[in-house]
Structure 1
């Protein structure tokens, strides 16, 4: 086995190769994170590991736009293990085919579940939480999600309650897994 193959297989971060958003290969850490053996993930659509099909479509559209601009994409999102358990995951990817961004790419995934437990959120609350962590104001989030400022504020109020936070800075710290 070549050194580059060994490095990929034994990297201390989850790695996978995607071809048209289908897993063409992964390493041991990816298999551990998602709950299986490396062979279990061969030719499996990456959509199976999103919290919902709505997330798969929305995040995919956002990623495609960003990859077309820069060749790379990254975020933190809730994903699903093979067992169905939801967990927070840091995802970073790079297209190897800039002319067709999803044709082939390499993606890294880190399990954030120890620092950031999953709180049951609606898909809209999850979107608002992610955009809040990116530092967007309620007005900016409203524009991005085509919601009114007041609706975004209601979602943020529910997030504060669900996470037991008193103010926005505390909520962002809890969402991002930062120590308080």
Structure 2
């Protein structure tokens, strides 16, 4: 890849080997914080909100990239200072037989389009179980709450996310680290 085109691309670019950053461009370093030299050899896992998110999204990547050598999604990532932000990720494997071995990825900060929403721990629990398709009664049974309390949490979630109905809320939550 042309070094100038890579270095000065208007989106964050990284070259990954086994989900470890081999190199990144200036836009990527600016987006996540620091200099390009801070990222060489850094496991991508360190830029995810949690190990669970890293593993969940990695499993999604692998499944899709086994049938096609490209993948894209919108997800929450973590800057070096710990701040979370929404990011659009797109990648292509250069080794289709082993998709994680070598690839090129772009990352774009979309946090202005999708701001982070603060949730209480109980709202987060209700959101997770709602995304898994559980009814208010099933969620209540798992969390030791009445279904009416679960419905009250869902109502607050609908308001916080600007959703009119539960399916719209679940769609908005689908990229959230759960």
C-alpha distance in 2 between matches for 1:99 and 1:66: 13
Q: Is the 8 A contact 1:116 1:175 kept in 2?
A: no
Q: Equivalent residue for 1:131?
A: none
Structure 2: how far apart are the matches of 1:120 and 1:20? Answer: 33
Alpha-carbon offset, residue 159 of structure 1:
3.0
1:65 aligns with 2:51: no
CA 1:89–1:63: 2 relative to 1, 3 Å: same
Kept in 2: contact 1:74–1:92 (CA 8 A)? yes
- Residues 1:148 and 2:134 are matched in the alignment: yes
What's the counterpart of residue 77 of structure 1? Answer: 75
Structure 1 158/106 Cα, relative in aligned 2: closer, same or farther at 3 Å?
farther
Residue in structure 2 matched with residue 20 of structure 1 by the alignment: 18
Given candidates 28, 51, 54, the residue that maps to 1:53 is 51
What does residue 99 of structure 2 align with? 101
- Aligned counterparts of 2:134 and 2:173: Cα–Cα separation in 1: 23
Q: Which runs of 5+ in 2 are unaligned?
A: 140-149
TM-score normalised by the chain length of structure 2 = 0.76
Q: Secondary structure at the match of 1:23?
A: strand
Q: Which moved more, 1:55-64 or 1:115-124?
A: 115-124
- Any idea what the Cα deviations from partners look like across 1:108-162, whole Å, max 9, x if unmatched? 000011222111353883x68xxxxxxxxx8xx64xxxx5355689686553132
Aligned-partner SS, 1:63: helix
Q: Give the TM-score, by structure 1 length.
A: 0.75
Distance 1:50 1:124 in 2: 22
**Alignment partner, residue 42 of structure 1:** 40
Residue number in structure 2 paired with 1:116: 114
Q: Name the structure 1 match of 2:85.
A: 87
2: CA distance, partners of 1:93 / 1:44: 18
